[in-house]
């Protein structure tokens, strides 16, 4: 009670009131905390002790009803804004919601926001003013369900974040109120609003980063962009958002963010690691989009281009990322535009991580086999089907050496023979009974049979040719003797 700004109004009788709350809480600290907050929020300037006791007695003991009463105290003129605030808070990544996001709540009505925001520097005073706006909003619109927290050891916009005062408040909102809020706001697209607010935060963070300040470890740019791209398919302005990121890509922010892609699973088939953060080969924007599962935009750009960018490293990088992330359509277009699975790509092998060239096909087999073992929903069979359907020259007669122990981390060379198992590609496909794996299995069977017939016919032709040659040689010898 003493920490609350309304304490001065009740300081004469607060001990009696506090004892009453403790008695009614019956050991439930969360209720005591909520009841105190709800009670203090409703205290008038000249309330008599009797009036205060009546107000305290009116607080319900049921948690859901108590939450309902708290939100019921929102002014009717601010109801729509409060509903938007709570819907957005329920969708964003709890507990690390950047507070500055909510300072742009009033800007959402502007269809150009934040696409025309100028990424210019800002002062600490400017940031503090925006945070003060947020503090005022969450106090009046959430009625205690949300709180503003300050990280003492952090600077910049990562210093301030909004949190639910308790996880039960978030559960209440999601379980009991979200549908009601959505029904009251049928034209409000909460996913698009989250995308636009997160984009504004990314732009704001880029200003901060360009001033030489490291991103906050908790509320960081990476988390914001992950949450943004996770929702992007629900946003009608997704193409604009991608365009803004492409513009940011050309600025100083992205080259300094370490982006390393590698793939390894529990059952290590080989020690292959694919690294795309080469110092000499910049991570291409299209590759970055694939890493965020935005194949649609990559396909749009591939379709709009008559040919691929000339950088062969980029072409192979894009191909392998398409394989690793299961983007079959992108793999198909890359094959059509000239990427060859027979081309080599440098990977790091073994415990010493020595760089070795391997064909894209061999790396693809490794990645797909690993994913089929690790993930029952893997799309790798479809990737392999696409490649084998594209070229009859690719060798499907592949075998893999696999750990039998799920969490084995030793190098293959140090394991005993009984700890390893050799399996064929066909055996691997039998682990995942999907339409793609069945179709791929049938294709491999047909090709195996065709190869067997071809070998048989080739053997017959060779034998027949040798027989004819021997006959002719015998005839020539007989004629010579005569």
Residue range 171-189, pLDDT digits in tens: 888 888 999 999 999 999 9
- Mean pLDDT of all residues in 117-124: 64
Q: pLDDT tens digit string along 393-448?
A: 888 888 888 776 554 445 555 656 667 788 888 888 888 788 998 999 898 888 88
CA distances to 84, 88, 103, 183, 471 from 81, rounded to whole Å, are: 5, 11, 12, 14, 98
Please give the sequence-ordered ranges of beta strands (E in DSSP) within 341-445, or none if there are none: 344-349, 354-359, 399-403, 420-424
Task: In whole angstroms, give the CA distance from residue 304 to residue 293.
Answer: 19
Task: Identify the CA nearest to 242 among candidates 300, 297, 318.
Answer: 297
Task: In whole angstroms, give the CA distance from residue 206 to residue 225.
Answer: 12
- Mean pLDDT of all residues in 28-47: 71
Give, rounded to a whole angstrom, the gap between the first and last alpha carbons of the chain.
Answer: 128
Task: Identify the CA nearest to 182 among candidates 57, 320, 90, 70.
Answer: 90
Instruction: Check pLDDT > 90 for residue 387.
Output: yes
Q: pLDDT tens digit string along 179-229?
A: 999 999 999 999 999 999 999 888 887 765 445 454 444 446 777 878 888
Q: pLDDT tens digit string along 335-373?
A: 999 999 999 998 876 666 778 888 999 999 988 988 888
- Mean pLDDT of all residues in 319-339: 93
Higher pLDDT: 51 or 9? It is 51
């Amino acid at each position: 009670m003493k920490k609350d700004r309304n304490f001065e109004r009740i300081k004469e009788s607060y001990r009696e009131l506090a004892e009453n709350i403790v008695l009614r809480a019956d050991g439930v600290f969360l209720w005591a905390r909520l009841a105190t907050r709800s009670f203090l929020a409703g205290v008038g300037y000249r309330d008599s002790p009797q009036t205060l006791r009546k107000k305290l007695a009116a607080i319900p003991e049921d948690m859901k009803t108590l939450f309902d009463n708290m939100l019921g105290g929102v002014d009717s003129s601010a109801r729509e804004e409060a509903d938007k605030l709570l819907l957005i808070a329920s969708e964003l990544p709890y507990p690390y919601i950047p507070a500055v996001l909510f300072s742009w709540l009033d800007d959402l009505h502007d269809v150009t926001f934040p696409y025309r925001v100028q990424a210019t520097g800002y002062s600490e005073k400017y940031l503090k003013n925006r945070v003060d706006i947020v503090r005022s909003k969450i106090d009046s619109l959430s009625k205690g369900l949300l709180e503003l927290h300050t990280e003492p050891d952090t600077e910049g916009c990562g210093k301030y974040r909004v949190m639910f005062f308790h996880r039960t408040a978030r559960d209440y909102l999601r379980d009991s109120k979200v549908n009601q809020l959505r029904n009251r706001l049928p034209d409000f697209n909460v996913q698009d609003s989250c995308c636009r607010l997160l984009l504004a935060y990314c732009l704001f963070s880029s200003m901060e980063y360009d001033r030489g300040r490291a991103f906050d470890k908790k509320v960081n740019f990476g988390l914001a962009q992950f949450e943004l791209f996770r929702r992007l398919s629900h946003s009608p302005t997704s193409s604009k958002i991608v365009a803004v990121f492409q513009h940011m890509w050309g600025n100083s922010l992205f080259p300094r963010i370490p982006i390393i892609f590698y793939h390894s699973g529990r059952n290590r088939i080989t020690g292959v690691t694919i690294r795309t953060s080469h110092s000499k080969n910049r991570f291409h924007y299209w590759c970055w989009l694939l890493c965020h599962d935005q194949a649609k935009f990559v396909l749009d750009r591939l379709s709009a281009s008559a040919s691929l960018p000339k950088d062969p490293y980029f072409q192979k990088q894009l191909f392998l990322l398409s394989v690793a992330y299961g983007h079959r359509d992108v793999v198909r277009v890359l094959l059509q535009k000239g990427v060859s699975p027979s081309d080599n790509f440098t990977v790091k092998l073994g415990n010493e991580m020595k760089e070795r060239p391997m064909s894209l096909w061999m790396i693809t087999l490794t990645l797909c086999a690993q994913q089929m073992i690790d993930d029952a929903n893997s799309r790798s069979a479809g990737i392999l089907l696409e490649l084998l359907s594209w070229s009859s020259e690719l060798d499907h007669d592949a075998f893999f050496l696999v750990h039998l122990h799920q969490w084995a981390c030793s190098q293959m060379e140090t394991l005993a023979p009984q700890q390893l198992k050799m399996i064929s590609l066909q055996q691997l496909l039998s682990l995942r009974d999907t339409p793609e794996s069945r179709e791929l299995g049938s294709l491999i069977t047909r090709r195996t049979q065709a190869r067997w017939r071809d070998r048989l016919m080739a053997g017959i032709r060779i034998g027949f040719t040798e027989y004819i040659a021997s006959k002719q040689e015998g005839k020539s010898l007989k004629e010579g003797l005569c």
